Amino acid sequence: MDAVQGTLDELGTPLREVTFVVFDLETTGGSAAEHAITEIGAVKVRGGEILGEFATLVDPGSPIPPFISVLTGITDAMVVAAPKFSEVLPSFLEFVQGAALVAHNAPFDLSFIRAACAANGYPPPVNPVVDTADLARRVLTRDETPNCKLGTLARLFRSATEPCHRALADARATVDVLHGLIGRVGSLGVHTLEDLRGFVRAPTPEQQRKRHLAEGVPGAPGVYVFEDAKGEALYIGKSTNLRNRVRSYFTASETRSRIREMVGIAERVRTIVCATALEAEIRELRMIGSTKPRYNRRSRFPERVVWLKLTDEPFPRLSIVREVKDDGGAYLGPFGSSRTADDARTAMHEALPLRQCTERLSPRVRRAACALAEIGRCGAPCEGRESQEAYDRHVRGARHAMEHDAEIVFSAMEARMRRLSAEQRYEEAAVDRDRLAAYVRTAARMQRLRSLTRIPQMVAASPAFDGGWDIHVVRYGRLAAAGVMPRGAHPVPYVDALVATAETVVPGPGPTPAASAEETECVLRWLDSPGVRLVRVEGDWALPARGAGRLTERIERAYQGLRSDRREGRPLR
Nearest by Cα to 227 from 272, 293, 292: 293
User: Which pLDDT value is given to residue 455?
Assistant: 97
User: Which pLDDT value is given to residue 564?
Assistant: 43
At 372, the pLDDT band (50, 70, 90 cuts) reads confident
Dist. CA 337–CA 132, nearest whole Å:
34
User: Which pLDDT value is given to residue 187?
Assistant: 82
CA 444 to chain centre: 19
Residues 6+ apart with CB under 8 A from 126: none
Residues 6+ apart with CB under 8 A from 84: 58, 59, 61
Dist. CA 165–CA 147, nearest whole Å:
18
User: Which pLDDT value is given to residue 128?
Assistant: 94
Concatenated DSSP letters for 168-203?
A: HHHHHHHHHHHHHHHHHHHTTT--BHHHHHHHHHSP
Cα angle 88, 92, 96; round to 5: 175
User: Which pLDDT value is given to residue 301?
Assistant: 82
At 547-564, the pLDDT tens digits run 888 888 888 776 665 444
User: Which pLDDT value is given to residue 161?
Assistant: 95
Given a contact cutoff of 8 angstroms between Cβ atoms, the answer to whether 92 and 112 are in contact is no
DSSP secondary-structure letter at 9? G
Share of the chain above pLDDT 70, in %: 93
Catalytic positions, please?
Answer: 165
At 486-531, the pLDDT tens digits run 998 999 999 999 999 999 999 999 999 999 999 999 999 999 999 9
SS3 426: helix
Written in H, E and C, the secondary structure of 362-417 is CCCCCCCCCHHHHCCCCCCHHHCCCCHHHHHHHHHHHHHHHHCCCHHHHHHHHHHH
Dist. CA 379–CA 389, nearest whole Å:
12
User: Which pLDDT value is given to residue 572?
Assistant: 36
At 570, the pLDDT band (50, 70, 90 cuts) reads very low
Integer CA distances (angstroms), 479 to 279, 284, 300, 359, 473, in order = 8, 13, 19, 41, 6
DSSP secondary-structure letter at 212? G
Given a contact cutoff of 8 angstroms between Cβ atoms, the answer to whether 569 and 61 are in contact is yes
The number of helix segments (H) and strand segments (E) in the chain equals 20, 15
Element (H, E) at 20: strand 19-27
User: Which pLDDT value is given to residue 9?
Assistant: 43
The one-letter code for the residue type at 209 is R
Given a contact cutoff of 8 angstroms between Cβ atoms, the answer to whether 500 and 473 are in contact is no
Q: Which of 19 and 299 is assigned the larger pLDDT?
A: 19
Extended strands (E) in 396-498: 458-463, 469-475, 478-485
At 159-205, the pLDDT tens digits run 999 999 999 999 999 999 999 999 998 887 889 998 888 887 777 77
User: Which pLDDT value is given to residue 286?
Assistant: 96
Q: Cα-flanking dihedrals φ and ψ of residue 180, to 5°?
A: -65, -40
As to burial, measured by CB atoms within 10 angstroms (0-12 exposed, 13-18 middle, 19+ buried), residue 465 is exposed
Q: Cα-flanking dihedrals φ and ψ of residue 264, to 5°?
A: -65, -25
User: Which pLDDT value is given to residue 8?
Assistant: 42
Average pLDDT (397-407) is: 93
Element (H, E) at 54: strand 49-57
Average pLDDT (423-439) is: 89
Element (H, E) at 535: strand 533-537
Bridge partner residues of 227 (DSSP) = 233, 268
Integer CA distances (angstroms), 28 to 21, 63, 67, 530, in order = 23, 8, 9, 41
Dist. CA 501–CA 473, nearest whole Å:
10
User: Which pLDDT value is given to residue 371?
Assistant: 65
Given a contact cutoff of 8 angstroms between Cβ atoms, the answer to whether 261 and 141 are in contact is no
Written in H, E and C, the secondary structure of 266-311 is CCEEEEEECCCHHHHHHHHHHHHHHHCCCCCCCCCCHHHCEEEEEC
